[in-house]
Chain A
């Protein structure tokens, strides 16, 4: 079964850059059928799609984040990454990575376990 695992700092200072990595195991990130996405969930709130990358490097971003976010892929490490610039307390959330499709398999499955990132000085 494909597994995803998020990693990165749990505490980021305001105005700095949040950086997270998702490692894919028991499967390859080089699948033509799937995309790799980041979703977040602020405490007590709903889920929010942030952005998505394809193994060839193409990306899509939510308009809510587009100017602050970069999603990238490293196929040699079977990983993809998220960077959010100029963070504020509003970026405090559990960040999840997940596999999904667009033309087919257009749902999020599986998900990583999630990692809590707190923005605070």
Chain B
């Protein structure tokens, strides 16, 4: 299973909105509403911020939102803040013969 495709980097000024894309195939993103997004601060473990395409876990800021269209999922960060500077990684369930999960390569978000 190939990795999901994300842009290597995205940047924005404080207060702006940015969107990170995550492109898969009809075997993963396109087939299941089981896309999740993770925030990874330097040297730390990933933290779940979006599950099932657009749902937020308790305690995650509503500035984070997710969506999906066809084989591409997206994460939008609204009202960008300095503490949002991190890597963001998407993941999709992808069943072939057996359950399988594929991750994106990650997108570095820089707050200018």
A residues with a Cβ closer than 8 A to B are: 37, 39, 45-49, 52, 60-63, 96, 100, 102, 106-114
Contact = CB atoms under 8 A, between A and B. Distances in A.
Main secondary structure of the interface of A (DSSP, over half): strand
A47 B89 contact: yes
Given A60-B98, A114-B45, A108 B91 contact: yes
Interface of B: 1, 3, 34, 36, 38, 44-48, 51-52, 57, 89, 91, 93, 96, 98-106
21 contacts: A39-B103, A45-B105, A46-B105, A46-B106, A47-B106, A48-B103, A52-B99, A61-B98, A62-B100, A63-B96, A96-B46, A106-B36, A106-B51, A107-B34, A107-B48, A107-B51, A107-B52, A107-B91, A108-B38, A111-B47, A112-B45
A60 B48 contact: no
Nearest to B35: A107
B104 A46 contact: yes
A118 to B, nearest CB: 16
A109 B89 contact: no
A28 to B, nearest CB: 20
A109 B57 CA distance: 10
Contacts of B51: 106-107, 109
A63 B102 CA distance: 11
Contacts of B52: 106-107
Contacts of B1: 62-63
A61 B91 CA distance: 16
Contacts of A111: 45-47
Contact of B48 (A37, A48, A108, A114): A108
A46 B103 CA distance: 7
- The interface centre, meaning the residue of B38, B45, B96, B99 with most chain A CB atoms within 10 A of its CB, is B45
B36 A107 contact: yes
B103 A49 contact: yes
A12 B71 CA distance: 39
Contacts of B57: 109
Nearest to B95: A102
Contacts of B96: 63
